[in-house]
Amino acid sequence: MAQQGRYRILMAKAGLDGHDRGVKVVSRALRDAGMEVIYTGLHQTPEQVVRAAIDEDVDAVGLSLLSGAHMTIFPRILDLLRQEGGGDILLFGGGTIPEDDVLTLKQMGVAELFTPGASTVDIVDWVRAHVGRPTEASAGR
């Protein structure tokens, strides 16, 4: 008897900024929505984030970045995910990211970016709508 798959989301902070208020609030909201959240802590390199995403076989990576390094770190993580065969793992994120950078990053393949003021309800709904997995076991991959 197969058990329904469950959303598995990696929540990560990459780079050197220590602002973890947002990532913790979102992690708790995803948990309360019934998802499995793997939080990797502060100050991670893109390589560490991607290795964790692959080993943990998550459906999506949520990256929080308030350091201004978004134009460096998001593309690097996208590249590494593809290199490691995880191109189908969704990358979304949040932080202080100017509008035109949001557009550029989305064109590169970042699935969604939440800027200050986004509600956790919106984020949970977005994950439910865009992560393909849970309708059937291991589906969509």
Partner 1 sequence: MLKDRTLEDDYRQWKDSHPLHERDWKFTTLSGQPVAPLYTPLDLEPNEYTKEIGFPGEFPFTRGIYPSMYRGRLWTMRQFAGFGTAADTNRRFHYLLDNGMTGLSVAFDNPTLMGFDSDDPRSLGEVGRTGVAIDSLADMETLFHGIPLDRVSTSMTINAPAAVLLAMYVAVGEKQGVPSEKLTGTLQNDILKEYIAQKEWIYPPKAAVELVVDTIEYTMRHMPKYNPVSISGYHIREAGSTATQELAFTIADGMTYAEAAMARGLDVDAFAPRLSYFWNSHIDFFEEIGKFRAARRIWARLMKEKFGARDPRSWLMRFHTQTAGVSLTAQQPENNIVRTALEALAAVLGGTQSLHTNSMDEVLALPTEKAVEIALRTQQIIAYETEVVNTVDPLGGSYFVEAMTDRMEAGANDYFRRIEEIGGVLAGIDQGFFQREIAEAAFQYQAELERKEKIMVGVNDFVSDAPADIPILKIDPEVEREQIRRVRELKATRDNERVRATLEALTGAADRGENVMSYVLEAVRAYATVQEISDAMKAVLGTYREPAFV
Partner 2 sequence: MATETPAGELVDRLLAGNRRAAGQVISRIEDESPDVESIMRGIFPHTGNAYVVGITGPPGAGKSTVVDELIRVIRASGKRIGVVAVDPNSPFSGGAILGDRIRMMRHSSDTGVFIRSMGARGHLGGLALAARNTILVLDAMGFEVVLVETVGVGQSELEIAGTADTVALVVAPGMGDGVQAIKAGIMEIADIFVVNKADHPQANKTVADIRDLLRMEIAPRAWTPPIVKTVAIRNEGLEDLWIRTRQHRQYLERSGELENRRKLRLEAEILEIADRRLREQVLEPSTETEEFQQLLDRVVHRETDPYAVADRIVPRPGLGGV
DSSP three-state, residue 39: strand
| 52 scored as a contact of partner 1 (CB under 8 A) | no
If the CB atoms of residues 15 and 62 are measured against partner 1, the closer one turns out to be 15
Sign of CA dihedral 16, 14, 95, 123: negative
Q: Give the nearest distance from C-beta 140 to partner 2 in angstroms.
A: 5
Helix (H, G, I), strand (E, B) or coil at 124: helix
Residues that bind partner 2 in the complex, under the rule CB under 8 A = 1-6, 8, 27-28, 30-41, 44-45, 47-49, 51-52, 54-57, 84-86, 88, 132, 137-141
List C-alpha distances in Å: 26 to 2, 21, 46, 62.
29, 9, 20, 9
Bridge partners, 39 (sequence order): 11
42 binds partner 1, rule: CB under 8 A: yes
| Residues contributing to the site for partner 1 (CB under 8 A) | 15-21, 24-25, 27-29, 39, 41-43, 45, 67-69, 71-73, 96, 98-99, 115-117, 119-121
